[in-house]
Protein backbone atom coordinates (compact mmCIF):
# COMPACT_ATOMS: atom_id res chain seq x y z
CA UNK A 1 0.00 0.00 0.00
CA UNK A 2 1.23 3.49 -0.79
CA UNK A 3 1.54 6.37 1.67
CA UNK A 4 -1.16 8.36 -0.14
CA UNK A 5 -3.70 5.58 0.21
CA UNK A 6 -2.96 5.18 3.92
CA UNK A 7 -3.26 8.94 4.44
CA UNK A 8 -6.63 8.93 2.73
CA UNK A 9 -8.02 5.86 4.51
CA UNK A 10 -6.92 7.03 7.96
CA UNK A 11 -7.87 10.68 7.33
CA UNK A 12 -4.33 11.92 7.96
CA UNK A 13 -3.14 15.46 7.37
CA UNK A 14 -0.17 15.81 5.04
CA UNK A 15 2.21 18.42 6.46
CA UNK A 16 5.18 18.01 4.13
CA UNK A 17 7.01 15.74 1.75
CA UNK A 18 4.15 15.54 -0.79
CA UNK A 19 6.53 14.21 -3.44
CA UNK A 20 6.98 11.06 -1.36
CA UNK A 21 3.30 10.10 -1.19
CA UNK A 22 3.90 7.36 -3.75
CA UNK A 23 6.33 5.52 -1.47
CA UNK A 24 5.40 1.91 -0.84
CA UNK A 25 4.72 1.03 2.81
CA UNK A 26 5.93 -2.34 4.09
CA UNK A 27 4.89 -2.02 7.73
CA UNK A 28 4.86 0.25 10.75
CA UNK A 29 7.01 1.06 13.76
CA UNK A 30 5.93 2.86 16.93
CA UNK A 31 8.45 4.53 19.24
CA UNK A 32 9.50 7.88 20.66
CA UNK A 33 13.03 6.68 21.42
CA UNK A 34 15.22 7.57 18.48
CA UNK A 35 17.81 4.86 19.13
CA UNK A 36 15.04 2.28 19.24
CA UNK A 37 13.87 3.35 15.79
CA UNK A 38 17.45 3.53 14.56
CA UNK A 39 18.18 0.03 15.80
CA UNK A 40 14.92 -1.75 15.06
CA UNK A 41 12.81 -0.09 12.35
CA UNK A 42 13.06 -1.40 8.79
CA UNK A 43 13.16 0.36 5.43
CA UNK A 44 9.72 1.10 4.03
CA UNK A 45 7.96 1.33 7.38
CA UNK A 46 5.75 4.17 8.59
CA UNK A 47 6.98 5.58 11.88
CA UNK A 48 4.40 6.72 14.44
CA UNK A 49 5.80 9.18 17.01
CA UNK A 50 5.21 12.36 19.00
CA UNK A 51 8.71 13.69 18.34
CA UNK A 52 8.61 16.72 16.02
CA UNK A 53 12.25 17.91 15.84
CA UNK A 54 14.58 17.66 12.90
CA UNK A 55 16.44 14.57 14.09
CA UNK A 56 13.31 12.58 13.32
CA UNK A 57 13.91 13.32 9.64
CA UNK A 58 17.58 12.39 9.90
CA UNK A 59 16.51 8.97 11.15
CA UNK A 60 13.70 8.57 8.61
CA UNK A 61 16.15 9.34 5.83
CA UNK A 62 18.99 7.15 7.13
CA UNK A 63 16.59 4.23 7.62
CA UNK A 64 14.73 4.80 4.31
CA UNK A 65 11.38 4.96 6.14
CA UNK A 66 8.26 5.52 4.00
CA UNK A 67 6.66 8.26 6.11
CA UNK A 68 6.16 9.64 9.61
CA UNK A 69 2.85 10.01 11.43
CA UNK A 70 2.77 12.60 14.22
CA UNK A 71 0.16 11.79 16.85
CA UNK A 72 -2.11 13.92 19.06
CA UNK A 73 -2.15 16.99 16.79
CA UNK A 74 1.61 17.42 16.99
CA UNK A 75 3.00 19.37 14.03
CA UNK A 76 6.51 19.25 12.54
CA UNK A 77 8.93 22.02 13.42
CA UNK A 78 9.74 24.21 10.44
CA UNK A 79 13.20 22.79 9.75
CA UNK A 80 11.77 19.28 10.11
CA UNK A 81 9.18 20.02 7.41
CA UNK A 82 11.82 21.56 5.14
CA UNK A 83 13.97 18.44 5.37
CA UNK A 84 10.90 16.26 4.78
CA UNK A 85 10.28 18.14 1.52
CA UNK A 86 13.92 17.79 0.53
CA UNK A 87 14.06 14.08 1.31
CA UNK A 88 10.59 13.47 -0.12
CA UNK A 89 9.58 11.53 2.98
CA UNK A 90 6.09 12.67 3.98
CA UNK A 91 5.17 13.85 7.47
CA UNK A 92 1.54 13.07 8.22
CA UNK A 93 -0.54 13.95 11.24
CA UNK A 94 -3.54 12.83 13.24
CA UNK A 95 -5.49 14.06 16.25
CA UNK A 96 -5.60 10.48 17.53
CA UNK A 97 -3.23 9.29 20.25
CA UNK A 98 -0.53 6.70 19.56
CA UNK A 99 -2.61 3.69 20.67
CA UNK A 100 -5.58 4.45 18.42
CA UNK A 101 -3.66 5.35 15.27
CA UNK A 102 -1.35 2.36 15.70
CA UNK A 103 -4.37 0.05 15.90
CA UNK A 104 -5.90 1.53 12.78
CA UNK A 105 -2.66 1.33 10.81
CA UNK A 106 -2.15 -2.24 11.95
CA UNK A 107 -5.66 -3.19 10.79
CA UNK A 108 -4.98 -1.60 7.42
CA UNK A 109 -1.61 -3.27 6.83
CA UNK A 110 -2.08 -6.72 8.35
CA UNK B 1 38.60 13.34 -0.06
CA UNK B 2 41.86 11.69 -1.05
CA UNK B 3 42.00 8.70 -3.28
CA UNK B 4 44.50 6.11 -4.46
CA UNK B 5 43.96 2.70 -5.99
CA UNK B 6 43.35 1.01 -2.63
CA UNK B 7 41.69 3.36 -0.18
CA UNK B 8 39.46 6.40 -0.02
CA UNK B 9 39.56 8.81 2.86
CA UNK B 10 36.93 11.26 4.07
CA UNK B 11 36.70 13.57 7.10
CA UNK B 12 33.79 15.30 8.78
CA UNK B 13 33.65 17.72 11.69
CA UNK B 14 31.01 17.27 14.36
CA UNK B 15 29.94 20.13 16.60
CA UNK B 16 29.11 19.25 20.21
CA UNK B 17 25.60 20.28 21.25
CA UNK B 18 24.39 21.08 17.73
CA UNK B 19 21.52 18.66 17.23
CA UNK B 20 20.27 20.36 14.07
CA UNK B 21 23.31 18.94 12.26
CA UNK B 22 23.34 15.55 13.98
CA UNK B 23 23.28 12.82 11.37
CA UNK B 24 24.77 14.95 8.60
CA UNK B 25 28.05 13.04 8.47
CA UNK B 26 26.25 9.68 8.65
CA UNK B 27 24.04 10.74 5.77
CA UNK B 28 27.08 11.73 3.66
CA UNK B 29 28.79 8.42 4.47
CA UNK B 30 25.64 6.52 3.47
CA UNK B 31 25.59 8.34 0.11
CA UNK B 32 29.24 7.46 -0.54
CA UNK B 33 28.72 3.78 0.31
CA UNK B 34 25.70 3.65 -1.99
CA UNK B 35 27.72 5.20 -4.81
CA UNK B 36 30.40 2.57 -4.24
CA UNK B 37 27.73 -0.15 -4.54
CA UNK B 38 28.49 -1.54 -1.11
CA UNK B 39 26.13 -4.36 -0.11
CA UNK B 40 22.85 -2.92 1.23
CA UNK B 41 22.99 -5.00 4.42
CA UNK B 42 26.44 -3.62 5.23
CA UNK B 43 25.28 -0.07 4.48
CA UNK B 44 22.32 -0.47 6.83
CA UNK B 45 24.50 -1.70 9.71
CA UNK B 46 27.13 0.96 9.03
CA UNK B 47 24.49 3.70 9.08
CA UNK B 48 23.09 2.59 12.46
CA UNK B 49 26.54 2.36 14.06
CA UNK B 50 27.76 5.60 12.52
CA UNK B 51 24.66 7.62 13.40
CA UNK B 52 24.66 6.49 17.03
CA UNK B 53 28.35 7.34 17.33
CA UNK B 54 27.83 10.73 15.69
CA UNK B 55 24.93 11.53 18.05
CA UNK B 56 27.08 10.53 21.02
CA UNK B 57 29.65 13.15 19.99
CA UNK B 58 26.89 15.77 19.63
CA UNK B 59 25.26 14.81 22.95
CA UNK B 60 28.38 14.45 25.09
CA UNK B 61 31.48 16.04 23.54
CA UNK B 62 32.59 19.59 22.70
CA UNK B 63 33.73 18.72 19.22
CA UNK B 64 34.81 15.78 17.18
CA UNK B 65 36.14 14.56 13.86
CA UNK B 66 35.01 11.53 11.92
CA UNK B 67 37.66 9.85 9.76
CA UNK B 68 36.37 7.37 7.22
CA UNK B 69 38.59 4.99 5.27
CA UNK B 70 37.17 2.70 2.65
CA UNK B 71 39.43 -0.02 1.27
CA UNK B 72 38.68 -3.03 -0.89
CA UNK B 73 38.29 -5.13 2.29
CA UNK B 74 36.62 -2.88 4.83
CA UNK B 75 35.20 0.42 6.00
CA UNK B 76 36.81 1.97 9.05
CA UNK B 77 35.10 4.86 10.83
CA UNK B 78 37.12 6.58 13.55
CA UNK B 79 35.34 9.13 15.71
CA UNK B 80 37.74 11.21 17.75
CA UNK B 81 36.20 13.69 20.17
CA UNK B 82 37.30 16.25 22.69
CA UNK B 83 35.03 15.98 25.67
CA UNK B 84 34.44 14.59 29.14
CA UNK B 85 35.53 11.06 28.25
CA UNK B 86 34.00 7.85 29.61
CA UNK B 87 35.17 6.90 33.13
CA UNK B 88 33.82 3.33 32.99
CA UNK B 89 33.47 1.92 29.47
CA UNK B 90 31.96 -1.41 30.64
CA UNK B 91 29.22 0.50 32.44
CA UNK B 92 28.62 2.76 29.42
CA UNK B 93 28.22 -0.33 27.23
CA UNK B 94 25.33 -1.60 29.36
CA UNK B 95 21.91 -1.29 27.78
CA UNK B 96 19.88 1.41 29.53
CA UNK B 97 22.83 3.21 31.11
CA UNK B 98 23.08 6.84 30.07
CA UNK B 99 24.56 10.11 31.33
CA UNK B 100 22.62 12.24 28.84
CA UNK B 101 21.04 15.50 30.02
CA UNK B 102 17.28 15.77 30.50
CA UNK B 103 17.06 18.04 27.44
CA UNK B 104 18.69 15.35 25.32
CA UNK B 105 16.39 12.69 26.80
CA UNK B 106 13.28 14.74 26.00
CA UNK B 107 14.31 14.63 22.35
CA UNK B 108 14.17 10.85 22.53
CA UNK B 109 17.92 10.34 22.79
CA UNK B 110 19.83 9.15 25.83
CA UNK B 111 17.95 5.91 26.39
CA UNK B 112 21.19 4.04 26.91
CA UNK B 113 20.83 2.23 23.60
CA UNK B 114 23.46 4.03 21.54
CA UNK B 115 26.64 2.12 22.37
CA UNK B 116 24.82 -1.25 22.47
CA UNK B 117 23.36 -0.44 19.02
CA UNK B 118 26.84 0.32 17.73
CA UNK B 119 28.22 -2.93 19.13
CA UNK B 120 25.35 -4.95 17.65
CA UNK B 121 25.84 -3.51 14.17
CA UNK B 122 29.61 -3.13 13.90
CA UNK B 123 31.80 -6.05 12.86
CA UNK B 124 34.47 -4.67 15.18
CA UNK B 125 34.31 -1.91 17.80
CA UNK B 126 37.19 -0.44 19.76
CA UNK B 127 36.76 2.29 22.37
CA UNK B 128 39.44 4.21 24.16
CA UNK B 129 38.77 7.13 26.44
CA UNK B 130 40.50 9.52 28.78
CA UNK B 131 38.46 11.42 31.36
CA UNK B 132 38.38 15.19 30.74
CA UNK B 133 40.13 14.68 27.42
CA UNK B 134 38.00 12.71 25.04
CA UNK B 135 36.91 9.47 23.49
CA UNK B 136 37.89 7.60 20.35
CA UNK B 137 35.63 5.01 18.77
CA UNK B 138 36.79 2.84 15.92
CA UNK B 139 34.09 1.01 14.01
CA UNK B 140 35.11 -1.49 11.34
CA UNK B 141 32.85 -3.17 8.80
CA UNK B 142 34.24 -6.01 6.69
CA UNK B 143 33.00 -6.67 3.17
CA UNK B 144 33.46 -10.42 3.54
What confidence tens digit (pLDDT) does each residue in A57-80 have?
A: 999 999 999 999 999 999 999 999
Q: Which CATH number covers residue B42?
A: 3.30.565.10
Residues of A in contact with B52 (CB under 8 A): 35, 38
Contact check, Cβ <8 Å, A33/B113: yes
Q: Pick from A49, A62, A82 the residue to mutate for testing the B interface (most B CBs within 10 Å).
A: A62
Domain of residue B67 covers 2-142
- In sequence order, the 6+-apart residues with CB closer than 8 A to the CB of A26 are A42, A43, A44, A45, A66
Architecture of the domain defined by A3-109: 3-Layer(aba) Sandwich (3.40)
pLDDT confidence of residue A32: 97
- ipTM exceeding 0.95? no
What does the pLDDT look like over B78-108, one tens digit per residue? 999 999 999 999 999 999 999 999 999 999 9
Q: Which helix (H) or strand (E) holds A6?
A: helix A3-9
Q: Pick from A39, A61, A63 the residue to mutate for testing the B interface (most B CBs within 10 Å).
A: A39
Q: How many domains are contained in chain B?
A: 1
Q: Alpha-carbon dihedral of residues B1, B138, B20, B91, nearest 10 degrees?
A: -170
* pLDDT band of B22, cuts 50, 70, 90: very high
Chain A touched by B20 (CB under 8 Å): yes
Contact check, Cβ <8 Å, A36/B113: yes
A3 has pLDDT over 60: yes
Other beta carbons within 10 Å of B127: 18
pLDDT confidence of residue B85: 98
Range A14-38 average pLDDT: 98
Amino acid sequence: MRVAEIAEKLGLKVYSGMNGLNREVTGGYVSDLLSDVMGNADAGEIWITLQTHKNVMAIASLKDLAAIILVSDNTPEQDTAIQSNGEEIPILGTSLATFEISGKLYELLK
Amino acid sequence: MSHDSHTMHFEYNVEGGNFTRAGYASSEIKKILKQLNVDMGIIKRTVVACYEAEVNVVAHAFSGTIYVDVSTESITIRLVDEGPGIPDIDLAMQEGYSTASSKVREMGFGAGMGLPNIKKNADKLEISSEVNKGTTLEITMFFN
